[in-house]
Amino acid sequence: MGALYDFEYEKLIVGVIYHEKAVLEEGLRMLTEEFGETEDMCEEFSFSKEFSEYYDDEIGGEGLRRIYSFKRLVDPSRQAEIKTKTNEMEKKLSDGGNRKINLDPGFINHGRLMLATTKKAGFRIPLADGIYTEMTLFFAKGNWQKLPWTYRDYQSKRVQDFLTVVRRKYLAERREAKKGE
């Protein structure tokens, strides 16, 4: 029989799509209050112009994208709980039933990026309470590798370069933690 061990903590990221800066600032305040200080952020870019106008009507205009990483490592078994919390934040920031911000949490470790979602699909794994997870990217041969369902923005060089920075910091933190054990 195999031995059971606790999961290694992973790097939390949150992808954000928004239109209004004030909504982004309030959403970021809520995220940092819940998950601690951010560490890095991807440069802002137009999700609408580069990838999809899917969110534009709901959020009230051109969708802008940022991705944040957080300093504190997190137990990956909390992914459903964290997605539930980000859904609650979206609801608090909604207006007339329309979301003004989209918050998508994920976890990076040495070999993969997992994203949480409420959308059911054959390649998604149920976690709890209507929350699913998917491997969005995996790291092999020195680069991020896409899968057939990987969102187009996560396939972009800009986002993958950002995720590589986050992964490097994660690996450095894990090395430091192992030295202390």
- The answer as to whether 129 is a domain residue is yes
**pLDDT above 70 for 181:** no
pLDDT interval class at 61 (50, 70, 90): very high
- In which element (H, E) is residue 49 found? helix 47-50
DSSP 77: G
The predicted-structure confidence for 30-43, as pLDDT tens digits, reads as follows 999 999 999 999 99
- The answer as to whether 1 is a domain residue is no
pLDDT at residue 177, as a whole number: 78
- The answer as to whether 45 is a domain residue is yes
Return the ∠ at Cα 163 (arms to 162 and 169), rounded to 5°: 95
- The answer as to whether 3 is a domain residue is no
Determine the structural domain holding residue 161 and report its residue range.
Answer: 10-180
13, 25, 174 from 116: Cα distances, Å: 11, 22, 23
- The answer as to whether 5 is a domain residue is no
Return the ∠ at Cα 111 (arms to 6 and 163), rounded to 5°: 115
Q: How many domains is the chain partitioned into structurally?
A: 1
The predicted-structure confidence for 66-123, as pLDDT tens digits, reads as follows 999 999 999 999 999 999 999 999 999 999 889 999 999 999 999 999 999 999 999 9
- The answer as to whether 87 is a domain residue is yes
- The answer as to whether 128 is a domain residue is yes
pLDDT interval class at 17 (50, 70, 90): very high
- The answer as to whether 2 is a domain residue is no
Instruction: Report the C-alpha gap between 70 and 74 in whole angstroms.
Output: 9
